[in-house]
Amino acid sequence: MNFVFPGKTALVTGASSGIGSHYARAFAARGTNLVVVARRTDKLEALASDLRKKNGIDVTILSQDLSESGAAAAIEQALLDREITVDVLVNNAGFGTNARLVDEDRARLRTEIALNVGTLVDLTAAFLPGMVARDSGVVVNIASTSAYQPVPGMAVYAATKAFVLSFTEAVWGETRDTGVRVFAVSPGATDTEFFDVAGWQSPGRRVPASDVVDVTLAAINARKSVPSVVVGARNRVTSSLVKFVPRKTVIALAGSIFLPRG
């Protein structure tokens, strides 16, 4: 596919920090107008004013808690009111929780599922029909390497990302013969606010968020459409090999990394 970025509009959720802000910067640098969504309006405003100045693009800010029911409908209505068409949707907003299930806050788990899964499905279902009708568009759903196996210590988070991967690959199967490219992106440990929010001090190496964006941009314009991409050579090998290792071993290994000590 040869997706032409200048003059198009990309909606990026979770653009106030981390991977989402890098997506916003990368699209802006290609002349793509933006709709940026998150809760921290001050961060979105700072990003928008920088990108308008540097890149001369239009940036629409929508301050929205995406874990609320009706969040996707509110965004859809706000864009209808402004007569903005979404050409690229990046469902990036999400967070993780790192604890044994018995120690988790149940309300926080529901928020995690509502954000990582519920609103991601709602937004995809809201904007995909228009893209299919126009026979053009891109939907990128952010999964994770944790989607490829159960993760003791992040049971709910990994399950939400397994949902994102399965859901997105299925929708890829439904749209592969159209001009719309739908795929999931699975980053491994990436240097963002994610670990602070999850309350987990990962000792491992983290890649820059720009790596996630580079892999995504390559997949958008690759000759062949793929249902999903994994960020990083080592993560690609691990996520493939996991299918051939006994399930109990995989779960024990994941637990040895993610289960909180003590």
CB of 130 to ligand NAP, least distance (A): 22
CB of 138 to ligand NAP, least distance (A): 17
Separation of alpha carbons 204 and 85, rounded Å: 40
Cβ partners under 8 Å of residue 194, min gap 6? 18, 95, 96
Nearer to ligand NAP, 20 or 137 (CB): 20
Binding site for ligand NAP (CB under 6 A): 14, 16-20, 38-40, 43, 65-67, 92-96, 115, 142, 144, 187, 189-190, 192-194, 197
Contact criterion met (CB below 8 Å) for 227 and 184: yes
Catalytic residues: 157
Separation of alpha carbons 122 and 69, rounded Å: 10
Closest by Cα among 232, 196, 205 to 95: 196
Nearer to ligand NAP, 1 or 206 (CB): 206
Contact criterion met (CB below 8 Å) for 164 and 143: yes
Structure tokens at 170: 């299925």
CB of 178 to ligand NAP, least distance (A): 25
Nearer to ligand NAP, 87 or 211 (CB): 211
Nearer to ligand NAP, 28 or 179 (CB): 28
CB of 152 to ligand NAP, least distance (A): 17
Residue of minimal Cβ distance to ligand NAP: 18
**Backbone region of residue 66 per phi and psi (left: phi > 0; alpha: psi in -120 to 50; beta: other values):** alpha
